[in-house]
Amino acid sequence: MTTPTGNSAVVDPDRFGDPTLELVLSRRQVLAFLGAFGVVVPTASLITAIDGSVSKAHAQAAPGQPVPRLAVYTPNWPDMVELWRQLSKDWTALGIDLDVQQGTLDTFVSQIVAEQKLPHLGSMSWGGAPDRLDPDYFISEMFHSRRALKGGLNFGFYKNESFDKLADDQRQAMDLSERQSLVRRAQEVVVEDSPSLILYHRDIIHAYNKKRFKGMKPILGNGIGFPYMPLAYMDIEALTPRKVLRLTSIYDIASLNPFQTPEIYNSTTLRLIYATFVTRDEKAEVMPWALHSWNVVDKTTVDITLKPDTKFHDGKPATVEDVKFTFDFILKHKFPAMGRVTDAVESASIAGDNTVRLKLKQPSAPFVANVLGYAFLAPKHIWENIPANLATPADWPNDNPIGSGPWKLMEWRKGEYIQFAANKDFYMPAKLDGFIAAVVPQMESMVGMLERGDSDMLAWNLDMTLGARISQNPDLEVVRTPTHGQHEVRLNLTMPPCNNVAFRHALQHATDRKKILDIIFSGAGVVSHGAPITPALEAWASPNIKGYEPSIDKARASLSSAGFTWNAQGKLVMPS
Amino acid sequence: MSDASSALPHAPAFDGRIRARTRSIVDFLKIAFESWSGAFGISILALIVVVAAFSPWITPYDPIANHFNAAGQLKRLEPPSAAHWLGTTYYGLDVLSQLIDGSRIVLIVGITCASFIAIIGTNVGLIAGYCGGRVDAVLMRITGLAFGIPFIPFAVVLVALLGPSLWNMILTISLLMWRTTARVIRSQVLSLRERAFVKAAKIAGASDVRIIYVHIFPNVLPMTLLYVAFDIAWAVLAEASISFLGFGDPNQVSWGQMLYLAYVSGSIRQAWWWTIPPGLGLSLFVISVFLVGRQYEKLASPRLR
Amino acid sequence: MGFLSYAGRRAVHTAVTLVLLLVFMFVLFRLIPGDPTTLLLGTGELTPEAQQRLRAQWGLDQSMLEQFITYGRNLLSGELGLSFYYRRPVTEVIAPMLVNTLMLMLPVVVLAIGLGIAIGTWLGWRRGERVEELGAVLVLVPRALPVFWTGIVFLSLFAYKLQWFPIGGIRETFFYPESWYQFIPYYDVLRHLVLPVATGVLASMADPLMIMRTSLIEVRDEEFMVLARARGLSTRSLQRLARRSAFLPVLTYSAIMVGFAFGGQVLLEVVFTWPGMGRLMVNSVTQRDYPVAQAAFFLMAAVVIVLNFAVDLVYGWLDPRIRYE
């Protein structure tokens, strides 16, 4: 038998009778030994306890008592960890102590969103997905009281009836200027009530090889490389004979079936193959894509007209039948991934040579942007004939996806890459011959590949510092694009002292957003005034929102005015 | 000494040399110095222990404090300088302070895990080896299970389940790594239980528990202690691996975590001042444990002399 | 007791372990908060109502016992189920990853054992000489380095600085052979294999090496070797004789080694961007893709357990004393 370093150890005493094996310890010696062991372990645990290893104190704050340690739950990303280190340091000036616990993102989402178990505070970041360009997302999904249920994003339990009314009204306001005014007022209410500390909108930073390609199109929330906006890749041109762009991405898709998954990266990648009815242009305005045009007939009726001469990738022409089929198919099977279509559309009927009339269940201002921008043209002749033994068509592998979009699938090597070829029959064909999205889960390798020339575009969020290093390379260009995504700190409005609006205002004043943005993201982003919608979206931003000036004095003043006091140790005490 | 067993005949007490050697701690430590490799190992270990014990006083700065230059800008990824001997990290933290602070985790994780592993593994090995039959079969099935389960994926599962705190990591490591110790102790016990002194104790009416812990255990103790030593090294490497993948405790500074942050910020090749010290520290610690352990192996197995 | 009854008993024990494993994994994964639908909630793309429908559709609202019964029944008819994340059969999801892993780990194991035996023999034969003492220490050094550390060092040196090898992945998405040697079949894949295999071998080599060395030292002093030396056999034949006898403990260890190889490969896969079982296991846990996670974990563990069983059989055959345990 061998020891850990490979030396031979005594196992068989018959081979050499070693007298030491006859050692018989006294009871005292055994106890002494065990005692020594018993000392080591508690000491070690004591040392770790002194470190302040997490304790789950969710003590309720009683009137007149010092505020207990506020429990924070956050994803375990390095930038979130650093965020809470900053906030912990900054908020001690208010006499507040924090108890920060982390969880992996999946566990975080299950506890906070699925189970609605937010402690006092939590933090989250939201990416620049296309449907979030419409204000409904950051207004209704996050803060409407209807969404304070299991699975909903109002996990801070914010409930304000006047806000709810504004949110409901803006959703049904078909007149643009009326809607804008409602959205602005809703934001002002949110900023005043401060259910969340919206921190900043971090810029998207991508990089590409400018010696080989040009024509990159930066789009809000998409940068130059994300697949969220199909328009981003359309003008890219090759400067060398190789007309295929190689980009790197952190994720891989899970499925080629567009009815199956709502996950953003997967669904937007598939919508390169399956053209959505409308999309957004570089100014974030809605533009027709598979459609020729649409017409809002009345509050619950929309006519959509298909582009003539549309062809699917297998050469078959797309007709109005396919449009009607798409909606009927979705309504019949009620795919969970297409929930927003099922929730909005009542029925679809043919109303002309190329026109389908959609009846909506209720008036909906975001309908065109979010539903027509998500639903896509599906070929009837394919989806009618899928195997019948599946539980749902969403389970069909769809290994040969046939759509009408600007890109055709060439090859998908699971976990490695996915390769597309340009669809030259598309009304606005791409200038490239194709592109390849390689799956590279490590930022380190992505950067290395770009620098070495193994890839042409880094399509994931870089840090500014990394970006600065990359831009020193004469072949590479770093592109910085603003986003409508955001980072926020959410408060649980059912747990004192977070239920006290003056307390929340104090936290707003005590949070130096610029300093934190500088430390964590090298300042690459837009500091928020607290409004959920980024100032970059000028159509919806409210000019009346001034934000909360970072000032500890103002924070303390806000607390004092609400009856908070400080004890001899400087700890914050609840009002009595 | 009032056991019944002391009345039984046993071979001439101890090998005089070993007894004399272990009479004092100094002599015990001297064993390590017998070869240059052992001397090197124990010096490094002593250094790490001292650094860890005095770390709150030695660190030049608070390990999690951000540093700014005169113009108010963050000192991000700065190479070594007079103010920061090992430079700064991506968020402007002092690397040397982090290195010193991280040495505590090395010892805490190492010793705590090794203790748990020793306790679980030795007991499983003792009971399985002595009792035999069904008890042995059941315990060996469980050990077999522990051998099969892939370590890092299982650690990921436990972190998802329990959260990435230090104690959960210690638990994770201990829950799987006792398997080798158990096997080794068991095979030792298997041969020991046939020996005369054990049989004699049985005849004298000693209970099973007594035989296991008073008679057999002391004789497997050297092997247990040896494995404790190496388990410290494995536990430290395991913690570094889990932290490197991003599943470590974000509230504690550890060398594995330093490497994780360097890697994930894309600076691991450029910021050599940030990545070489923790990697070197880990490697030196583990090598030292090996080298010192090799010296003490001779106590457990005189055949090696 | 014959060998057959020993083998039979061992087989039953192995089967029991495997079943235990199955149950353990099944329960463990479902204890983690969340299910395959919850991660989708975090992006807000799935409304709470749609999520509930999805859960019902996927049978996740049943009790754990009911789910286990369904799972067990499917398993017995050979069906591993559908992956929740991919909505494809589990076998389809695992197969390519398994191939990738074997592509990486088989060379590692084979080379580690081969090199270990070769160098271990060389060292063991020179027992007592200075070079042996030095060698024994040197061998421990790569064993002590963290695997991911060596990987990163290799990458920095050979891939980034010297540019001899690619920095990750299995193959180039765009590989156009130019020079004559690049036309060798699988040249591209082999090129991608060099660094990860080297890293893995370096970490795994020390154990078989030391075991071989120790085993050889012991065998050298055996009576039959003394006799052979006295009979005047050449050194080469002596070595061959010794090696054959010393080989067995290494064989035993290789069963364990395969297990450790599979356990630690996640680090290699991360550093070298290698899409294999390690990454699949970790991702399937994150995605709460129970069927895939169970199958993947079970597969990896079963390989080790079955290998141990095989080694037990070999030992039982060779050494009749063991059969009485």
- Least CB-CB distance to A438: which of C160, C173, C217? C173
Q: What's the pLDDT band for C169 if we cut at 50, 70, 90?
A: confident
Report yes or no on C166 lying in a domain. Answer: yes
Average pLDDT score over residue span B161-179: 89
Q: Is the dihedral of CA B124, B127, B132, B134 positive or negative?
A: negative
Query: Do residues B169 and B266 both lie within one domain?
Result: yes
Q: Could you read off the pLDDT of C219-258 as tens digits, one per residue?
A: 777 777 777 778 877 777 777 777 777 777 777 778 778 8
Q: Which of B141, B154, B245 sits opposite C13 (nearest CB)?
A: B141
Task: Say yes or no: B225 and B278 in one domain.
Answer: yes
Residues C310-315 have a mean pLDDT of 79
Check if the beta carbon of residue A460 is closer than 8 Å to that of residue A206.
yes
Mean pLDDT of the region A23-49: 51
- CB–CB contact C273 A2 (8 Å): no
The distance of A152 to chain C (nearest Cα, Å) reads 6
Q: Which of residues 185-224 of B touch C (CB under 8 A)?
A: 190
Instruction: State residue A38's pLDDT score.
Output: 53
Confidence check: pLDDT of B22 > 60: no
Residue A277: the pLDDT is: 96
Q: Write the ipTM.
A: 0.86
Chain C interface test: which of A110, A137, A457 (most C C-beta within 10 Å): A110
Q: Report the Cα C222 to chain-centroid distance in Å.
A: 34
Kindly report the CA angle at A228 between A226 and A234, in degrees rounded to 5?
A: 75
Do A438 and C169 lie within an 8 Å CB cutoff?
yes
Say yes or no: B246 and B189 in one domain: yes
Tokens encoding A529: 């005034």
Binding-face residues of A in 317-336 toward B, CB within 8 A: none
Q: Is residue C83 part of a domain?
A: no
Question: What pLDDT shows up at residue B102?
Answer: 94
| Residue A35 pLDDT | 54
Neighbours of chain C (3+ CB pairs under 8 A): A, B
Q: Is the Cβ of C33 closer than 8 Å to some Cβ of chain A?
A: yes
Q: What is the pLDDT of residues A371-416, one digit of tens each?
A: 999 999 999 999 999 998 888 899 999 999 999 999 999 999 888 8
> Tell me, what's the pLDDT at A189?
94
Distance from CA of A18 to the nearest CA of B (A): 8
Inter-residue contact C292 to B166 (CB < 8 Å): no
Q: What is the pLDDT of residue B19?
A: 53
Task: Please give, rounded to a whole number of angstroms, the shortest distance from the CA of C300 to a CA of chain B.
Answer: 7
Rounded mean pLDDT of A236-259? 93
Do A266 and A255 contact (CB within 8 A), yes or no?
yes
Which residue type is seen at A21? Answer: L
% pLDDT > 90, chain C: 21
CA distance A197 to A531: 9
Specify the CATH number for the domain of residue A267: 3.90.76.10
Alpha helix segments (H runs only) across chain C: 3-31, 38-41, 48-57, 64-76, 90-125, 130-144, 147-154, 187-204, 206-220, 223-230, 235-271, 277-286, 290-318
- pLDDT at A341 (0 to 100): 93
Q: Chain B to chain C, count of Cβ pairs less than 8 Å apart?
A: 131
Is residue B77 one of the residues assigned to a domain? no
A139-to-A93, A144, A145, A185, A478 alpha-carbon distances in Å: 32, 7, 11, 11, 32
Tell me: do B147 and B213 sit in the same domain.
yes
Closest residue on chain B to C307 (Cα): B148
- Report the DSSP pairing between strands A355-360 and A345-350: antiparallel
Number of domains in chain B: 2
Which residues 207-246 in chain C show a CB within 8 A of chain A? Answer: 207, 209-211, 213-215, 217-218
pLDDT at B24: 59
- Selected for mutation to probe chain A from C46, C117, C133 (highest A CB count within 10 Å) is C46
Same-domain check for residues B217 and B108:
yes
Domain of A475, in residue numbers: 205-252+414-481
Would you say residue C325 lies in a domain?
Answer: no
Lowest mean pLDDT, pick from A24-28, A29-33, A190-194, B118-122:
A24-28
- From chain A, the residues in CB contact with B74 under 8 A are 518-519, 522
Query: Quick one: pLDDT band at residue A483, thresholds 50, 70, 90?
Result: very high
Last residue of a domain, one of A447, A481, A515: A481
Rg (CA), chain C: 25
| Interchain contact A445–B (C-beta under 8 A) | no
How distant is the Cα of B61 from the closest Cα of chain C, in angstroms? 27
Contact state of C34 with A267 under an 8 Å Cβ cutoff? no
- pLDDT at residue C45, as a whole number: 76
Q: Is residue A34 part of a domain?
A: no
pLDDT at residue B114 greater than cutoff 80: yes
pLDDT, position A316: 94
Q: Peptide bond preceding B222: is omega within 30 degrees of 0, i.e. cis?
A: no
The reply to whether B6 falls in a domain is yes
Which CATH number do you get for residue C312? 1.10.3720.10
Domain count, chain C: 1
Q: Is the pLDDT of residue C75 over 80?
A: yes
Same domain for A131 and A70: yes
Asked whether residue B18 falls in the same domain as residue B149, the answer is no
Per residue in B198-224, pLDDT (tens digit) is 888 888 887 878 777 878 888 888 778
Do A174 and A288 belong to one domain?
Answer: no
Residue C58 is assigned to a structural domain of this protein: no
In a domain, B78, yes or no: no
* Tokens, residue B150: 């892939």
Same domain, A301 and A376: yes
pLDDT at A245 > cutoff 60 = yes
pLDDT exceeds cutoff 70 at C321: no
**Chain A contact present for C89, CB below 8 A:** no
B5 shares its domain with B122: no
B294 in the same domain as B236: yes
Per-residue pLDDT band for B226 (boundaries 50, 70, 90) equals: confident
From chain C, the residues in CB contact with B282 under 8 A are 145-146, 149
Q: Is a pLDDT exceeding 90 seen at residue A181?
A: yes
pLDDT of residue A50: 39
Task: Give the tokens for residue B198.
Answer: 């054990």
A567 and A533 share one domain: yes
Q: Are residues B291 and B253 in the same domain?
A: yes
Whether residues B45 and B8 share a domain: the answer is no
Query: Residue B73 domain-assigned?
Result: no
A370 lies in some domain? yes
- A388 CB-contact burial (10 Å; exposed 0-12 / middle 13-18 / buried 19+): exposed
A522: left (phi over 0), alpha (psi -120 to 50) or beta: left
How much is the pLDDT for B203?
A: 84
Task: Report the CATH number that the domain containing residue B246 is assigned in CATH.
Answer: 1.10.3720.10
Q: Is residue C51, in this structure, part of any structural domain at all?
A: no
- Centroid of chain to Cα A403: 27
pLDDT at C130: 76
Residue B93 lies in a domain: yes
pLDDT at A344: 93
- Give me the domain span that covers residue B5: 1-33
From the list A22, A33, A85, the residue facing B11 with the nearest CB is A22
In a domain, B75, yes or no: no
End-of-domain residue from the set A374, A402, A430: A402
Of A441, A464, A481, which residue sits at a domain end?
Answer: A481
**How far is the alpha carbon of A28 from chain B, nearest alpha carbon, in Å?**
8
| Number of domains observed in the structure of chain A | 3
Say yes or no: B50 and B141 in one domain.
yes
Q: How confident is the model at residue A199 (pLDDT cuts 50, 70, 90)?
A: very high
- What is the pLDDT at residue C268? 92
Residue C139 belongs to what domain range? 96-318
- Token digits of residue C222: 């055996």
Evaluate if residue B279 carries a pLDDT over 70. yes
Indicate if the pLDDT at residue A31 is higher than 60.
no
Q: Is B141 on the interface with C (CB under 8 A)?
A: yes
Question: Average pLDDT in the A129-154 region?
Answer: 91
Q: What is the mean pLDDT of chain A?
A: 88
Residue numbers of C between 13 and 32 with CB closer than 8 Å to A: 32
Instruction: Report pLDDT for B285.
Output: 94
Residue C1 lies inside a defined structural domain of this protein: no
Query: How many other C-beta atoms can be found within 10 angstroms of the C-beta atom of residue A428?
Result: 11
pLDDT tier, A465 (very low <50, low <70, confident <90, very high otherwise): confident
Name the pLDDT band for A25 (thresholds 50, 70, 90). very low
Pick B152's closest partner by Cβ from C152, C263, C308. Answer: C263
Q: Under a CB-based contact definition with an 8 Å cutoff, are residues B33 and B42 in contact?
A: yes
Instruction: Give the whole-angstrom CA distance, residue B150 versus residue B161.
Output: 17
Question: Backbone phi, then psi, for A208, in 5-degree steps?
Answer: -150, 170
pLDDT given for residue C210 in this prediction? 81
Amino acid letter at A543? P
**Residue B258 pLDDT level (bands cut at 50, 70, 90):** very high
**What's the pLDDT score for residue B12?**
38
Question: Tokens standing for C103?
Answer: 């592509």
Is C140 close to B291, i.e. CB distance below 8 A? yes
Domain membership flag for residue A458: yes
The answer to the question of residue C81 being in a domain is no
Over chain C, what is the mean pLDDT?
83
Of A453-467, B25-39, B256-270, C86-100, the least confident: B25-39
Please report the pLDDT score of residue C2 as a whole number. 72
Same domain? For B28 and B104 the reply is no
Establish if C75 belongs to a structural domain. Answer: no
